[in-house]
Structure 1
Amino acid sequence: MAYLNPGAAAVRAAKQAAASADAAAITTTAAAGANPTKAEFDKVVTDLGNLRTAHNDLLAKLRAAGLLAP
C-alpha cells in the first residue's frame, strides 16, 4: 500500500516490518491471600521481563523497517 510522504512530497511504497513472535503466556495467577508470596511475585517479575523483551523486539523490527524513527 502506497502512502504520501509529506517530507519528500512523493508517494512511497510502505515497507513491512519483520515478523515478531507473540509474547510468552502469562504464568501468574491471582494471589492466594491478601499479600503475594515471593514465588507469586517472582512470576510477575518474570512475566514483565518477557513482555519487555517482546516489546523491545517489536520496536527494533519497526525501526529496521523504517516505520519508526531510530
Structure 2
Amino acid sequence: MTMAYLDPSAGRAREGRQAAAQSDMAAVTTTAAAGANPTKAEFDKVVSDLAAARTTINGLLAKLRSAGIIASS
C-alpha cells in the first residue's frame, strides 16, 4: 500500500489550479510634499495611487477566494 503523501501523482491530484496572473501595481506617482501642506495636485496623486493599490489588492483577494485559499466574505 502506497501512502498518499509519498505518491507524487496523488499529491498532484490534490493540488489546486493556478488563478490568472495579477498585474503588478504600477509605480507610485507621489513624491514628498514640497512644503508643510500638500498641494491639491500632490493630494490627488496620493488618492490615485491609493485607488490603484486597492484595485490590485482586491484582484488578489478575488483570486485567492476563487482558488479556495481564503473564504468568501
- TM-score scaled to structure 2, two decimals? 0.74
Checking the alignment, whether the CA contact within 8 Å between 1:24 and 1:50 is kept in structure 2 is yes
Q: Where does the alignment leave 5 or more consecutive residues of structure 2 unmatched? A: 1-10
* Cα deviation digits, residues 11-33 of structure 1 (max 9, x gap): 73244333111011100000000
Q: Which has the higher strand share?
A: 1
Amino acid at match of 2:52: N
Displacement of 1:50 after TM fit?
A: 0.3
Are 2:70 and 1:68 aligned? yes
Checking the alignment, whether the CA contact within 8 Å between 2:16 and 2:67 is kept in structure 1 is no
* Cα deviation digits, residues 13-70 of structure 1 (max 9, x gap): 2443331110111000000001100000000000000000000000001111111111
Identity %: 68
Runs of 4+ in 1 over 6 A off after TM superposition: none
Checking the alignment, whether the CA contact within 8 Å between 2:23 and 2:56 is kept in structure 1 is yes
Q: Which has the higher helix share?
A: 2
- TM-score scaled to structure 1, two decimals? 0.77
Q: Where does the alignment leave 5 or more consecutive residues of structure 1 unmatched? A: 1-10
If you compute each CA radius of gyration, which structure gives the higher value, 1 or 2? Answer: 2
